[in-house]
Structure 1
């Protein structure tokens, strides 16, 4: 890997990545620090648990589907939320992602403080999603996995994080890249069926 900062990018699992934690996953990178590692959330794994069953005060503000997402295998008992302001004002309790180019597709995404008052912050959000757990790689670990061909590093759009159809996100993200990756998007879930 070339050492570039991955914050705000997508990690899309290649068809060869068969680890059940990451198989056909789309990970949004929240923080990438060359000294401390990388943190992200899986954005295409909705659970059956409604956000209202866990964080009832936030339930009226969450993007559809209004369920908790399985953000990853680390810290599955903790919650992490991403949001996007609905207007030009920066809402109290919203922190932008570090090292993201201004004006990029994801420059308006940030981390939400779930201890902030939902009645104040929630109405100022144009998109809001809650994740149980996260993904994490130690310094250099993700770079090795990328070099080994486990992940495609692709540009993200805010719509990826708040997709109303997360189960088809893996193939849609690959298809919009065109070329060889569009072909990969048609790779069967079970390679023996090819």
Structure 2
């Protein structure tokens, strides 16, 4: 089986494309009647869906993985533990599942990329949900020590009150990019041309 598109995505760190690439390869293998289950990179495929924030697809993939593979490849089960915690929305347990396994060299960069992306997602969730939050809760949500969470949030402009152990969330001003709509530009050009002639 030709995994070169997957390898290219991994080398270029286009992790958001992994699930789609492997879904297509799996479908192609099934269509062609090619046995693939023994050599399939299930852990990468599962993590690809998790990185894409597509937990439903990860769940369905997990259910389709043969029992023998689940038992013989502990890394596949470790990736699924991350997916389970995401499904349960147990934010702190997601970080524990990431740290609770000695990942292979093949998966290590992918897990680190997921962890960083997940921390950013949770930070944005906290940013939108709270005006003040305790340092302890912030640390649990972000999967950090209280000191690291305080430093991380302060770099984002949050204000710490050491006496109360609370963080005041500072909302960043929203910068909206104006996108140039070529059809509107074309109509404006035609209108100005019409006025001049």
TM-score using structure 2 length = 0.22
Which one has the bigger helix percentage? 2
| Structure with greater Cα Rg | 2
